[in-house]
Amino acid sequence: MAVVDSTMHVPHPGRASAYLDWLQMLTGAGLILFMWSHMILVSSVLVGPRVMDALAWFFEYTYVAQVGGPLVAFVFLLHFALGARKIPFRTAEQRVVWAHSRTLRHRDTWLWLVQVVSAMVVLLLGSIHMWIVLTDLPITSVKSAARIQSGWLMPLYLVLLPMVELHVGIGFYRIGVKWGFIRRANRGIFRRRENLLTLFFILLGLATLLRFYFMDFH
């Protein structure tokens, strides 16, 4: 039976680390707002393809898509780079984290592990999604439906959707806990509401994917 060294050296964080934590929080909060807004805007296809096309045209006409798309991609990669500072990539570190998680049996520790795993999935699949969309502007409901109906992208989005919403939901919760907005007294209530919000966006995303999948654009 392997013995896990739980006395590994943990460096003392300095002022630079605190600044990086603030930047990580700000980029994370910005991406959370973007993802929720993005989901609501894309789901406008549920009202009608023309509604989505009108919104997409507005963002194209005002150059929000051309400027905002690359900016979001940059913030996305920056946020991952900042978060990677605390991700245990080495096998020895992963063993320590896993051993401590099983020993502590603390819900928030497991949530952090879920966030780390989901971050890896989102980094890979999210990068593919952004590349496909940003290299095929303008955005239209017909193009979106064609991509979903092409075959291989539907499974990609079925994995990406819950991973994004889990990562966003847990991230929102952990920001509140870390910076004192969520306290012991209101933690349970906030967690339940956040779970409902995450479930809402997953169901909204699934409904949107199905709308694209069955949309007749011929």
At 1 the pLDDT is 47
CATH number for the domain that contains residue 169: 1.20.1300.10
At 189 the pLDDT is 78
Residue 25 lies in a domain: yes
Q: Is the peptide bond before 138 cis (omega within 30 degrees of 0)?
A: yes
167 is in an annotated binding site: yes
- Return the ∠ at Cα 78 (arms to 72 and 84), rounded to 5°: 135
Determine the Cα–Cα distance for residues 195 and 11; give it in Å rounded to an integer: 34
Q: Does the pLDDT value for residue 65 go beyond 90?
A: no
pLDDT band at 209 (very low <50, low <70, confident <90, very high): very high
Residue 141 lies in a domain: yes
At 149 the pLDDT is 87
Residue 165 lies in a domain: yes
Averaged pLDDT for residues 2-11: 51
Determine the Cα–Cα distance for residues 1 and 160; give it in Å rounded to an integer: 37
Residue pLDDT, tens place only, 164-175: 988 888 888 877
Averaged pLDDT for residues 120-137: 86
At 100 the pLDDT is 53
9 is in an annotated binding site: no
Residue 70: which domain range?
18-214
Largest CA distance in the chain: 63
Could you tell me the sign of the dihedral formed by the alpha carbons of 67, 70, 162, 52, in that order? Answer: positive
Q: How many residues does the chain have?
A: 218
Residue 13 lies in a domain: no
Between 49-61 and 141-149, two packed helices, what is the crossing angle to 10 degrees? 120
- pTM to 2 decimal places: 0.76
Residue 6 lies in a domain: no
The total number of structural domains in the chain stands at 1
Averaged pLDDT for residues 5-29: 70
Looking at per-residue confidence, does 94 or 205 come out higher? Answer: 205
Looking at per-residue confidence, does 124 or 2 come out higher? Answer: 124
Contact of 68 with 62, CB cutoff 8 Å: no
Residue 12 lies in a domain: no
106 is in an annotated binding site: no
Averaged pLDDT for residues 4-16: 57
Look at residues 168, 162, 169, 161 and name the one whose alpha carbon lies nearest to residue 195: 169
At 87 the pLDDT is 63
Q: Give Cβ neighbours of residue 197 (< 8 Å, ≥ 6 apart).
A: 169
Could you tell me the sign of the dihedral formed by the alpha carbons of 46, 48, 51, 56, in that order? Answer: positive
Residue 105 lies in a domain: yes
Contact of 161 with 205, CB cutoff 8 Å: yes
User: For the ranges 43-52, 114-123, 202-211, which has the lowest average pLDDT?
Assistant: 114-123
Residue 8 lies in a domain: no
User: For the ranges 11-25, 32-46, 149-163, 191-205, which has the lowest average pLDDT?
Assistant: 11-25
